[in-house]
Structure 1
């Protein structure tokens, strides 16, 4: 089990399990950390849920997700800020040190405009985040999601934004699924680490051919991403956090989740 001391699993990875069952089974398997998706908290006392996770000796790595700042509608932009403040409140109650931001985009306007609105949105949240001791973590997404999910599509763009904002409360999540294709990835990871902005590292694999660009992620070693190489780079960049398995997969959600958990652990140990 000592080999799992840097393994974290996202609740959405084993989506069919309620968070209480996920926590119990992760802990029994020797998993060290958990990242909580907000849907897993529905109908629950968030503070008590955090206590429950800690009682299983699980490190709460982050809360997913905030973001979705851009819109042509000022009303929708304000609603996004309000929802992000709610996410910060939830993270604070849970005891999560950061909120991961899927930054959003609006196909009715330019990417440049969406990026400006993302930066403005994040900057406006910094005082609230600091007051609640919760960091904000920009996650660049694959360009295929640039229409509605995120106008931040490369690590270079995320680095530019984090460096411009220049706050100890704002950093970056590196997700191999979104960034593996980038020929500048190694140097941008080093840049991210040098600036103290490398807050999180998410792992899975890109299946080829993939059946669904959102809901067909693979286990490490199942696709074409060189996860061990990227892991080496983040370690060289100074990352000392947990390695977060984040898999959206209709196929895996449809199988016995205990068997899937065993597969995750095997892939983590052997292929990442």
Structure 2
């Protein structure tokens, strides 16, 4: 188990009621080492103000969330998605975020296979722009329950296939235990990801039993059925030595005192990560 929280990163969406300036101050005071900033948190204060806040904070920016949503039956919409992602890359660069996390998208009016082709094409089209701005792109596979509109990349194996087909150092993968814990091929796919040098991020939380909402009822580590320490051991064995990013969407936790919630995050991280 982690003995300190220097490698703990918290996504700004996790403590959604806090503005970016408050979150940075609270995380820093608690000794949290990193933050992954969601676009809404940066937009709420403005990009220039957000840049000034992160430059003045000891908390390291780990990633910017979230680009993607490439597939569409309309060619015009696919081009707009590229423009939207370029804007996200610009914003990530402004904040000094080294990684833009991609929720890749899906189009229910076409096959998943066609959506995956469009995802790969979209990512490939962004590589020169992202490279110029020093921002890497992290493919995040999502749980199959989101295969309708959120992502046609639903297993780490599928993410590995896309990343390996692209084969560019600008493109890697974000492993999120919430989306992947159920996969009986997970250990070997994490190893494969590490062997290719494609493991760029690691997100943690827990799957509550029973869960009351498939999107907004994530749990603290140790609160549900995911063996986070085991998956972290696979990730570390694959060569990953980056931050452990706590990403929790929860109406329950957003409704509580966020100082108390932060204390619970740190305790759960130390005991169950």
**Taking structure 2 as the reference length, what is the TM-score of the superposition?**
0.98
User: What is the aligned partner in structure 1 of residue 63 from structure 2?
Assistant: 62
Q: Cα RMSD over matched residues?
A: 1.1
Question: Could you list the runs of 4 or more consecutive aligned residues of structure 1 that deviate by over 3 angstroms after TM superposition?
Answer: none
The 5 A counterparts of 1:170-209 are 170-209=171-210
SS at 1:99 equivalent: strand
Shift of 1:254: 0.5
Structure 1 alignment gaps of length 5 or more: none
Rounded to whole Å, the distance in 1 between the matches of 2:267 and 2:44 is 33
1:101 equivalent to 2:98? Answer no
Q: Could you report, residue by residue, the CA deviation over 1:189-233 in whole angstroms, capped at 9, with x for unpaired residues?
A: 011011110000000000011000000000000000000000000
User: What is the aligned partner in structure 1 of residue 265 from structure 2?
Assistant: 264
SS at 1:189 equivalent: helix
SS at 1:42 equivalent: helix
User: What is the aligned partner in structure 2 of residue 72 from structure 1?
Assistant: 73
Rounded to whole Å, the distance in 2 between the matches of 1:268 and 1:2 is 9
Shift of 1:3: 0.4
Q: Could you report, residue by residue, the CA deviation over 1:221-268 in whole angstroms, capped at 9, with x for unpaired residues?
A: 000000000000000000010000000000000000000000000000
1:169 equivalent to 2:170? Answer yes
Structure 2 alignment gaps of length 5 or more: none
SS at 1:61 equivalent: strand
**Taking structure 1 as the reference length, what is the TM-score of the superposition?**
0.98
* 2:65 and 2:101 in contact (8 A); partners too: yes
SS at 1:17 equivalent: coil
User: What is the aligned partner in structure 1 of residue 115 from structure 2?
Assistant: 114
Shift of 1:50: 2.9
Rounded to whole Å, the distance in 2 between the matches of 1:258 and 1:84 is 33
Rounded to whole Å, the distance in 2 between the matches of 1:127 and 1:44 is 29
* 2:141 and 2:179 in contact (8 A); partners too: yes
User: What is the aligned partner in structure 1 of residue 256 from structure 2?
Assistant: 255
Instruction: Give aligned pairs, total.
Output: 272
